[in-house]
Amino acid sequence: MPVFSDLSYDNLVVKNGTEAIVEYANYDKMSKEEFNLKYQALIIYCKQDTWAMVEILNALRGLVKDLSKNNENVVLFT
């Protein structure tokens, strides 16, 4: 997500949505230990992914605000 922030998924166990879906779909095939590890990894991924959406929204709001200051035709959504 370098366009809007310095957030990175590189240091996470689950690095993207596809991996998240696959891990979730395989819950019933995991040992208790593996389940616990993947469950925590998914929680961490989902927290970061949700925060990434907040960062994108804030960046887009900032762009719209800048455009509206310059008297550009902008439709504001809140």
Tens digit of each residue's pLDDT (9 = 90 or more) over 41-66: 999 999 999 998 998 888 888 888 88
| Buried b or exposed e, range 23-57, using 16+ CB within 10 angstroms | beeeeeeeeeeeeeebeebbeebeebbeebeebee
Is the pTM higher than 0.85? The answer reads no
Token pair in block for residue 64:
């719209």
pLDDT of residue 33 exceeding 90: yes
